[in-house]
Structure 1
Amino acid sequence: MDHRSVGKLLAPLKRGLQMVVARALVTAVGQGRAQRVQVALLAGEVKDGVEHAEPYGFTAHPHAGATALVVFVGGDRSHGIAAVVSDPRYRPADLAPGEVCVYTDEGDEIRIKRGGELVIKAATKLRVETPFLEVTGEVRDRCDTGGRTMAEMRQTYDGHTHGGVQPGSASTATPNQGM
């Protein structure tokens, strides 16, 4: 069997595989629990209502222009599933091998770095909604400009005295309650 004969024999298989997986551009995103996207495939083929399958516990609302890997189960082009949606326009490009990052198009990120460091970068505010927050180690403010830990602030407060106070019946030399 020559090369041309093998090509003819494999052509239907090749066409079938091309019907199963396609690269696409996201053109619109719907709202709701089961996110649906509109995608533009090759040759101007547009598919509406393509299910955006996301891993449990993670979700995103991609921008138009994101790329998607769309799978058509059994080659049936009437039912597509966007198995992966990515957007290299916003992906941080400076991750070290093994690092993980959740990010937005605005540059905010949660980065799990090598060596056990977690970095949260938020442009305006970090809000934690919980009725109780525990920290097993120290908390330091203004860490890049020589800030103090809460333990250092507590030590300063607990050890401070009041100068120029007239003596009275109660001691005002040091606080009567610790911080």
Structure 2
Amino acid sequence: MTDDYSERHYLRTMLTVRRGRISLVNDSGSIQKLQLAPSGLETRDNIPRMAEYGLASNPPAGSDAMIINVGGDTSNGAVVGTNHQETRPTGLKSGETMLYNGPAGTSLYLANGQVVLNANGQPVNVNGATIVMISASTEVIFDTPVLKCTGDIVDNYETNSSTLKQLRAAHDGHDHEVVDVQTGGSTITTTPPNLTV
């Protein structure tokens, strides 16, 4: 009986921590569930994945997974770490962090000395904000062929309340007197300026 207990204890200890490769992810519920193969002869379904609060991800097929089986019980396990070898960024320096989507090639890189958002040719959207504030001590540069805005633009907003649309309307509506262009000292008024495309 002692030998039987020792063997069971040994097997449970050996099964406490295992590794596998993810083949399928179910991300529809309140907790993510994975299908993976801890060995070439075994496939396990619906293993919960315990990810960090505030960070959601869907690891691609082929990602490594670290499984913790509570008390060595393979029916009571959870994935506590994942890694996709083919797309994991490398070469980060001490203290640096990167949030990345390997297959899409997008990343937010908190590097030493700069912050780099790499959209890899994809749209970047900020949705539902009431105010978006960009505070830069030197300047803000938009390197783009066209800068579009659906609403009004106000410069020097702390001291100026007029929008560019209002200033343009005031400018386009004003005229100038043209003095002494005809014999006899006549004065005429020019027409308001217009925009020719």
Q: Is the aligned partner of 1:134 residue 2:133?
A: yes
Structure 2, gaps ≥5 residues long: 1-5, 145-154, 157-163, 178-188, 193-197
- 1:107 — aligned with what? 105
The separation in 2 between residues aligned to 1:27 and 1:75, in whole angstroms, is 23
Q: CA deviation at 1:53?
A: 0.5
Structure ranking higher in helix proportion: 1
Equivalent of 1:30 in 26, 30, 34: 26
Corresponding pairs, count: 146
Letter in 1 for 2:14: Q
For normalisation by structure 1, the TM-score amounts to 0.71
- 2:70 — aligned with what? 73
Structure 1, gaps ≥5 residues long: 1-9, 144-153, 173-179
The separation in 2 between residues aligned to 1:114 and 1:76, in whole angstroms, is 43
Letter in 2 for 1:94: G
The separation in 1 between residues aligned to 2:68 and 2:175, in whole angstroms, is 82
For normalisation by structure 2, the TM-score amounts to 0.65
Equivalent of 1:39 in 11, 16, 36: 36
| CA root-mean-square deviation | 3.0
- 1:16 — aligned with what? 12
Equivalent of 2:54 in 44, 54, 57: 57
Deviation digits for residues 107-166 of structure 1 (CA, Å, limit 9, x no counterpart): 100010112x211110222211212111121321129xxxxxxxxxx69x99xxx9xx97
Letter in 2 for 1:34: I
- 1:146 — aligned with what? none
Contact 2:20 2:38 in 1 (8 A): yes
Letter in 2 for 1:15: L
Identity of aligned residues (%): 23
Residue 109 of structure 2 aligns to a residue in which SS?
A: strand
Q: 1:126 to 1:43 in 2, by over 3 A?
A: closer
